[in-house]
Structure 1
Amino acid sequence: MSYSTIATTKQLLTSTFGNGLPVPPEVRAQGIHWVEFVSDSTQPLIPIILKAHESFAALKGLEGILAVAVSKERFGHAKDIKATVNCTHAALFPAMNYLSTVDGIPKWDPEMTKKIKIEDSDLNHVYNNVYRRMLTSYYRTKDGRFYHLHASLNATPTFDALGLPPYDEEKNERRAAQEVIERRTLTLTSDELEDMIKKIKQPGSLCQTREEFLASSYGKHVSSRPLFELQQLESTSPPLKLSSQGPNILSGVKILDLTRVIAGPVISRTLAEYGAQVIRVTSHNLPDQAYYAVDFNFGKRTVDLDLKSPEGRQVFENLLEEVDVIVDGYRGGAIARLGYGPHDLLKRFAGKRGFVYVKETCYGEGGEYSDRPGWQQIADSVSGVSWANGKAKGLEEPIAPPFPLADFGAGELGCIATLNALHHRMTKGGSFFTSVSLVKYNDWLFSCGTYPEQLWKSMVDAHGQESRELRRHSGPDDVGLVAINSIQRLNPNLREEPDFMFESGNTPFGVVRTQSPVVRVEPYKTAVQSWLNPPRPAGYDSGAEWVTI
């Protein structure tokens, strides 16, 4: 009997409802009937032994279910509204960066630097300096383990702690730079590296197996939690009222995007697909990754505000007066220290209005690691994904997974959690705090199981020699490019599939082609109807105010 990605997707979706998911009873009871899956296949697209293909299709199904729940509350319960999810398109949601083009140029092409000014936001020279960028990798330790260091948005603190120069212009070749760093990590045990990283409050993690993760107190905490957290902050503010005229599911909803890099911006980009008005707030004083603006600033306006200046705070507080959702992707407590955390907003809005506060982190709320910074690669290392990927290829070393699965997984969960919290606001009133994490997505991905041995063998064979040659020193982009190239070789007509790619011609970058919204809820959500703005760089818009639409 041939394998069915749709059948597996439905099984995963059904199982999520039995795992303490904090959704309304009617969604739990009826939701599975509100979504239809199309585009079955006998071989999953993403070359990893974990069921990433089906996990994203299932999450997109869950997104569709919550979107239908909000639609019914807004437009009338009698309406026969259903979501449709193309499983192939959903599986490539985390590959979005490898599919996007500007004026026909792929994002990894060197010519792209003429269109995206990466250096403008790379304030600490992490991405345009080979030596500093190579800090992000798996390194051997004195006790025979592997430890994942990360350059983060500033590599200097970790280089200083390692006793290495923060800059070495002679090491402008990748392997030479990695060898210098590994000579140093080989003089330290994994415990010594871990203590060092914790002391300087930089991202890093021991590469654990799945068994080691589950045996740890932190792993036990994460595995006991639902896919996303929901906490009611207050119950006195009135229900959220949205016009039954729409035209889209989230028309009229105002979202402040306080995020950087991947997972956080994915949350607000996906909510923007539903017609929400999103303003992304960044500061030229803080490092960022301009590379991702092409994909993740779809539907948004972007403003530059210094929240440490009186002028910037005043503008931001004016925006807060009408906000419905705040998406926070900064280090734990960073926004609260500025006076804009969820409990600060409770005091500010007391007796006036409710709100939803969405928190995205690497490690999640609670647990011993909750105050540590982290990235995609760190989540993969601590949860066991990196080891599982290496072992499945017959190696005794960790390897980065194809595509930033945990980043996009957490971003997708953040969209789902927001739709769920907005539904609670519409039906019950009040204010809600909801949170998602990269590690929790990875934990759930593991719980989805692995592919049958024969299916996995056929996937390895199909993706070819270049995929088999990947090793621990292969960077995430190397692994991603190998994966997308083999996926496109195996599916040559993929980009031409109806509704898969979306083109925006009127952008500051040029003609942008990127992945279209995966979930379709007709007639309330399509790419053309729902994205209010073409993508633009950070800080592009001069007016920092909500627009009457």
Structure 2
Amino acid sequence: MRRLPAYRLMEFRRTMTSYSTVETSKQVLLSTFEHNLPVLPEVRANVNCVEFTTDSDQPLIPIALKAHESFAALKALEGIIAVTLCKKRFGDDKDIKALVNCNHAALFPAMSFLSTVDGMPKWDPEMKQKIKDTDLNQVYSNIYRRMLTSIYRTKDGRFYHLHASLDATPTFQALGLPSYDEEKNEKARAQRAIETITQQLTSDVIDSMIRDIKQAGSPCLTREEFLDSSHGKHISKYIPALKLSPQGPNILSGVKVLDLTRVIAGPVITRTLAEYGAQVMRITNHNLPDQSYYAVDFNFGKRTIDLDLKSPEGRKVFEKLLEDVDVIVDGYRPGAIARLGYGPDDLLKRFAGARGFVYVKESCYGEGGEWSDRPGWQQIADSVSGVSWANGQALGLEEPVPPPFPLADFGAGELGCIATLNALHHRLVKGGSYYTSVSLVKYNDWLMSLGPYPKQLWKTMAKAHGLEDSLKLSHQSNFDEVGLTAITSIQQLYPHLQEDPELMQEATHTHFGAVKTQSPVVRIEPYKTATKGWLNVTRPAGYDLPTGWAVELQ
């Protein structure tokens, strides 16, 4: 992407001076407390403990929706609950603050685009030598199969977002296309082949087919269409209804977390809990596909073990870990963990009041509602909730366009961290066990409810980011293209951010190499979450021996 000339950057900043991301973030934060937020009174009493900072008042993320401010507000809410826990553990008389840099918070969902290994971005071809390949079904390495994850036109003039998930074969077979086609292993040819089929089918027919084979996919709805659907009506109104170690030094010292998640949203929850000193054990199975690309960022602060929960040996190790667990984070398909006998109801019976625990369920569509049993991904949440249509229209197009960065993934991950901290606070004060759920669609619904930026502000932002050319992006611009376009523009407009030691930090000795990643956004002072954020550095899946909780993190 071309470098922006200096006069454009100066014009951008001069035009933006009447808008304040800090003040808007404060307004968004305060508005969250007006909607039956299920927190105890002492959390509300600490609302003024947050200090927002920024070195500029321009929104960083090139989207017309207030994603920048949404993440600043969510990080502030995380900080408020963390401060409340901190005071409960270390004394109410302490003067404790939560510091949130709004720019740092806005870069949170761009984490994977900013991180480097030995100075290389993670999409560099040489990274294949540094990261173990867990793409068992070639949905990332094979371009033809990867292009299944895109928005396609349908027979009735609508748009439908297909998704390869972690195995594209079932959807290809349902469409009557070969699962592999080396003659079409190029983006444009692959997309033409797929869209030739989708344009012979209506959006409803494709959705019925996708639902029948239990794969992820969604029609691209406008905000109005989503809210008019039964699930939209449900999710827009849905509000999800521990005794900690007395030793420090961190707010969650002594808290043991089992991480049963893959890809982004779930691992974001546990990575952030690890920032507060929680002991996180991430469990994966080498027989299941995953995207190891994300392990570089999301395995900071964790031990990682390989277990097959369908085998007697794996279940024995897992049930030993359950004896001392405080938090279980479940990011698998709805009902998958329960079918193994480890769902929240199973654990309530297992512990039978002997001890309390927190169970966090992360999903695409959320609890209840017509679509709650469907699998889904970030791109599907964007399509069904109206975010993709809103982004396309803001770009001057009459078609949906995926938003920059996995906003819904990181948003749901942040909501999951907040919900976990809140449940731990309830357990600390009142005892008992707690279940909470978060979803990608719910974050998107909330983001859409905040409304867009003022038209003139967005016009100025779009011009500065080079988005005034309506041919730059389209409905066939996939996740990678939109994200890389956005991060290139942000780095050109704000070149200092990636070099700021307060925003980025480097772990020089990891299994991957020297990993540069985002540092924790929320700073609790004087009780820093942990030394530079985590108790140990990142590692690949299945790195540690399944020896139980007793092994100290390194």
Report TM bin, short chain.
over 0.9
Question: Which runs of 4 or more aligned residues in structure 1 lie more than 4 Å from their structure 2 counterparts after TM superposition?
Answer: 465-468
Deviation at 1:44, TM superposition (A): 0.4
Within the candidate set 54, 74, 78, 1:59 is matched to 74
Superposed counterparts of 1:86-485, under 5 Å: 86-118=101-133, 121-226=134-239, 229-230=240-241, 240-243=243-246, 245-464=247-466, 468=470, 469-485=472-488
Deviation at 1:23, TM superposition (A): 0.9
Deviation at 1:77, TM superposition (A): 1.1
Deviation at 1:492, TM superposition (A): 1.4
User: Aligned residue for 1:19?
Assistant: 35
Deviation at 1:58, TM superposition (A): 0.3
User: Aligned residue for 1:37?
Assistant: 52
Name stretches of at least 5 consecutive residues in structure 1 with no aligned partner: 231-238
| RMSD of Structure 2 on Structure 1 (CA) | 1.2
What percentage of aligned pairs have identical amino acids?
Answer: 73
CA–CA separation in structure 2 for the residues paired with 1:482 and 1:68: 37
Within the candidate set 496, 503, 528, 2:499 is matched to 496
Asked if the contact 1:129/1:172 (under 8 Å) is kept, the reply is yes
Secondary structure in 1 matching 2:184: coil
Deviation at 1:532, TM superposition (A): 1.2
Q: Structure 1 159/143 Cα, relative in aligned 2: closer, same or farther at 3 Å?
A: same
Secondary structure in 2 matching 1:292: helix
CA–CA separation in structure 2 for the residues paired with 1:205 and 1:462: 32
Deviating more after overlay: 71-80 vs 308-317:
71-80
Provide, for residues 344-369 of structure 1, a one-character-per-residue CA deviation record: whole Å limited to 9, x for no partner. Answer: 10111114211000000000001011
User: Aligned residue for 1:236?
Assistant: none
- In the alignment of these two chains, the number of paired residues is 535
Residues 1:539 and 2:545 aligned together: no
CA–CA separation in structure 1 for the residues paired with 2:205 and 2:41: 48
In structure 2, what residue type is equivalent to 1:541?
A: D
Asked if the contact 1:467/1:483 (under 8 Å) is kept, the reply is no
Deviation at 1:200, TM superposition (A): 0.6
Q: Structure 1 326/135 Cα, relative in aligned 2: closer, same or farther at 3 Å?
A: same
Asked if the contact 1:258/1:327 (under 8 Å) is kept, the reply is yes
Deviation at 1:76, TM superposition (A): 1.2
In structure 2, what residue type is equivalent to 1:517?
A: P
Provide, for residues 242-261 of structure 1, a one-character-per-residue CA deviation record: whole Å limited to 9, x for no partner. Answer: 21x31000011000000000
Provide, for residues 395-416 of structure 1, a one-character-per-residue CA deviation record: whole Å limited to 9, x for no partner. Answer: 0111110000000000000000
Secondary structure in 2 matching 1:84: strand
Name stretches of at least 5 consecutive residues in structure 2 with no aligned partner: 1-16
Residues 1:514 and 2:517 aligned together: yes
CA–CA separation in structure 2 for the residues paired with 1:547 and 1:105: 36
User: Aligned residue for 2:528?
Assistant: 525
Provide, for residues 60-94 of structure 1, a one-character-per-residue CA deviation record: whole Å limited to 9, x for no partner. Answer: 00000010111111111111111000000000000
Secondary structure in 2 matching 1:521: strand
Provide, for residues 261-315 of structure 1, a one-character-per-residue CA deviation record: whole Å limited to 9, x for no partner. Answer: 0000000000000000000000011110000000000000000000000000000
CA–CA separation in structure 1 for the residues paired with 2:365 and 2:474: 26
